[in-house]
Amino acid sequence: MSEALAWNDEHLMTMAEFRAWPGDGSGQVFDLVNGRVRAQGAPSQTHSTIQLDLSFLMERFFRETGMACRALPTPSVVPAVLSEWNERHPDIAVTCRPNDPSVHEVREPLVIVEILSRTNARDTWDNVSDYMSLPSVREILYLESEAIHGYLFRRLDDGSWPRDYVDISADDTLALHSIGWSVPLALIYDRTGLDPAAPPRRGLPRHRK
């Protein structure tokens, strides 16, 4: 363990300290979780392909429709709860606010996307309540990286969140109402080489087979 990480085990980092921390030299992305750093782990090429192609499809839609929105890869997202001690870096966050060079984190995200892998699934699922704490977030999408499958949370009309997510299978259309966009889920995975018949593996326990 590096000296920086060992120091962090004994002293909680504030978000300001975390942003000033140079990292451990590995090039990994870290989240700040209640004052402690948590490594995300190196993404697989499949993970990166899904992230890249989803961002491309969203950005193409925004440019073609003239929407002033951006699909930002691995942005800083600060939860509304205990914000001084927490910062997350989802795979994609969509915002329709203009860029502000003076602000580090993404402002008023509408959609947050996380990609699940065999090494980070538990930590990634733990982030969902932090994303739900942000008033601007309307939809949270989790995507598998070992199967063509997604899990979508959509905020209800009264502002609350549903008790569970909606499964999106390989032959379904993914619709994100907050940005008026839809696409066949399989198109996001088109270049991954994943078997369309492969069952999902990283959902919550009631969905595991």
pLDDT, tens only, 129-154: 999 999 999 999 999 999 999 999 99
Average pLDDT of span 123-129: 94
The more confident residue out of 126 and 24 is: 126
pLDDT, tens only, 3-41: 445 445 667 999 999 999 988 888 889 999 999 999 998
Q: Tell me, what's the pLDDT at 208?
A: 46
Nearest to 207 by CA among 150, 129, 140, 136: 150
The two tokens of residue 131 are 């994303």
Q: Tell me, what's the pLDDT at 16?
A: 94
Task: Give the C-alpha separation, 27 to 104, whole Å.
Answer: 19
Assess whether pLDDT exceeds 90 at residue 63: yes
Q: Tell me, what's the pLDDT at 27?
A: 80
Q: Tell me, what's the pLDDT at 26?
A: 81
Farthest-apart Cα atoms in the chain, separation: 50
Average pLDDT of span 192-200: 96
Task: Give the C-alpha separation, 54 to 186, whole Å.
Answer: 11
- Are 58 and 181 in contact, with CB atoms under 8 Å apart? yes
> Which amino acid would we find at residue 124?
T
Average pLDDT of span 197-202: 95
| CA-based torsion, 93, 64, 52, 207: positive or negative | positive
Q: Tell me, what's the pLDDT at 100?
A: 96
Task: Give the C-alpha separation, 141 to 128, whole Å.
Answer: 10
Domain ranges for the chain: 3-20+27-195
- Are 145 and 44 in contact, with CB atoms under 8 Å apart? yes
Assess whether pLDDT exceeds 80 at residue 89: yes
pLDDT, tens only, 149-185: 999 999 999 999 999 999 999 999 999 999 999 999 9
Task: Give the C-alpha separation, 44 to 52, whole Å.
Answer: 12
Task: Give the C-alpha separation, 70 to 122, whole Å.
Answer: 28
Task: Give the C-alpha separation, 6 to 36, whole Å.
Answer: 10
The two tokens of residue 167 are 């499964």
Residue with tokens 């899904």: 50
Domain 3-20+27-195 in CATH 3.40.50.620? The answer is no
DSSP string of 135-177?
Answer: TT--EEEEEESSSS-EEEEE--TTS---SS-EEE-TTSEEEEG
Provide the pairing of β-strand 109-116 with 139-144: parallel
> Which amino acid would we find at residue 7?
W
Q: Tell me, what's the pLDDT at 110?
A: 98
Q: What is the pTM of this model?
A: 0.92
